[in-house]
């Protein structure tokens, strides 16, 4: 009766505006009409829709709710009907759905409409038990096609090992946080493409936990601040390219780690990498100032490993002047002496980007430190238009002890 009386009374405009004094920020939520505020106090959207029987004026009020919550929803088509409310409903700040062992077609029925209306956070939790034999069964039930959420700021999907196909195109222009838990990804190597800067220009936090179908994860991002990877079954290659990475990486099944960026152990923590077999580092500049940023990062990364089966390192020489083809090494320190130790390795791969310079001294320095190697791969990157050797006076042929 009290609810009916409240429903029949006219809205009191401004009655929920904050009155904390001059200069206070406006409380936008409290500025909503009273009837909408009353509906917000209910636990689920289903309860809000049932209030339509209390008053003729309330029949469409629930469609103005900025948040939709579905608890133990059993019918994805019913959720779609709610999202398809007429009369141009406002954007949604939150969509939260909790289900028990949902099928892919149920989720697929409403998620395209959620992508169309959402301008805030999406939360989906499938209360699937997650036993190993049930994981296999879940993977056989097909995949949900994830649409592109152009305006969403957060996506949190716990799928109970349902299959998920990522969108081939489109931009998640406002997405800040993406969480994928208990998921089977369909499609080759698409996750890295989706979360890179070209398609997720504002993404700051990425969490992928207990996921299948991620063989390689290659991320090129200028915005990522945090990467959380846990139990990525079958992951064999991880590459993260970013100006200043901040990450805590633990991947017990990881086989190949390629780090083509700056490395600082104070911001990048390498946890469990028990199966790692191959390490590829960033470029090491043969001639540059001692303790330079790029070289320092390579040295600190190498210090994290005592043994690595296959070590891949690239030695980079300064560019020869295109105008005169005369090198500029005379006043630049020889930085190979900064490498005083390397991980014990069986297979050494050296990529030489010498730009026309003599690479004998640097190669000899590396071989002298790798006394355990059983196989050597030497890759020479040549450049067109450069002479095969330097002009006289270049420091690249020093020291000369490599010749004997």
| Interval 362-392: pLDDT, tens | 999 999 999 889 999 999 987 665 555 566 6
- Asked whether 357 and 332 are in contact (CB, 8 A), the reply is no
Residue-wise pLDDT for 290-340, tens only, equals 877 789 999 999 999 999 999 999 999 875 443 333 344 456 788 898 999
Least confident piece of the model among 50-64, 194-208, 266-280, 312-326? 50-64
- Asked whether 208 and 229 are in contact (CB, 8 A), the reply is yes
pTM equals: 0.58
Phi, psi for 251 (deg, rounded to 5): -140, 85
Provide the pLDDT confidence category of residue 76 given band limits of 50, 70 and 90: confident
Local structure of 137: helix, strand or coil: helix
Q: In the predicted model, is pLDDT for residue 239 greater than 90?
A: no
Q: In the predicted model, is pLDDT for residue 115 greater than 90?
A: yes
Least confident piece of the model among 36-50, 89-103, 115-129, 278-292? 36-50
Q: Which of 180, 186, 227, 182 is nearest to 208 (CA)?
A: 180
Phi, psi for 224 (deg, rounded to 5): -60, 130
Pick left, alpha or beta for residue 385 (phi over 0 → left; psi -120 to 50 → alpha; otherwise beta). left
State how far the Cα of 96 lies from the Cα of 254, in Å rounded to an integer.
Answer: 34
């Amino acid at each position: 009766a009290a609810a009916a009386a409240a429903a029949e009374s006219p809205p009191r405009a401004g009655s929920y505006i904050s009155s904390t004094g001059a200069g206070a920020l406006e409380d936008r939520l409290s500025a909503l009409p009273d009837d909408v505020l009353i509906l917000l106090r209910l636990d689920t959207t289903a309860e809000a829709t049932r209030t339509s029987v209390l008053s003729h004026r309330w029949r469409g009020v629930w469609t103005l709710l900025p948040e939709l919550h579905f608890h133990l929803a059993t019918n994805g088509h019913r959720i779609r009907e709610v999202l398809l409310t007429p009369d141009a409903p406002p954007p949604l700040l939150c969509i939260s759905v909790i289900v028990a062992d949902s099928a892919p077609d149920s989720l697929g029925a409403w998620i395209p409409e959620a992508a169309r209306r959402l301008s805030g956070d999406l939360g989906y939790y499938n209360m699937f038990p997650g036993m190993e034999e049930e994981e296999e069964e879940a993977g056989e039930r097909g995949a949900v096609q994830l649409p592109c959420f152009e305006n969403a700021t957060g996506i949190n999907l716990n799928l109970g090992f349902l299959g998920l196909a990522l969108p081939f195109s489109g931009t998640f222009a406002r997405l800040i946080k993406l969480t994928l838990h208990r998921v089977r990804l369909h499609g080759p190597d698409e996750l890295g493409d989706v979360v890179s800067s070209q398609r997720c220009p504002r993404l700051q936090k990425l969490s992928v936990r207990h996921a299948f179908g991620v063989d390689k994860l290659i991320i090129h991002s200028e915005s990522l601040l945090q990467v959380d990877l846990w139990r990525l079954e079958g992951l064999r290659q991880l590459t993260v390219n970013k100006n200043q990475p901040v990450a805590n990486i633990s991947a017990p099944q990881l086989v190949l780690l390629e780090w083509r960026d700056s490395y600082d152990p104070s911001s990048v923590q390498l946890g469990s990498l028990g199966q790692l077999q191959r390490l590829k580092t960033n470029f090491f500049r043969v001639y540059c100032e001692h303790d330079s940023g790029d070289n320092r990062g390579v040295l600190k990364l190498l210090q994290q490993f005592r043994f690595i089966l296959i070590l891949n390192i690239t030695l980079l020489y300064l560019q020869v002047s295109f105008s005169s083809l005369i090198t500029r090494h005379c006043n630049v320190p020889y930085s190979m002496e900064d490498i005083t130790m390397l991980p014990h390795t069986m297979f050494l791969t050296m990529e030489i980007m010498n730009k026309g310079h003599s690479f004998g001294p640097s190669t000899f320095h590396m071989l002298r430190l790798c006394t355990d190697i059983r196989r050597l791969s030497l890759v020479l990157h040549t450049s067109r238009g450069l002479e095969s050797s330097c002009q006289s006076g270049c420091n690249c042929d020093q020291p000369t002890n490599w010749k004997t």
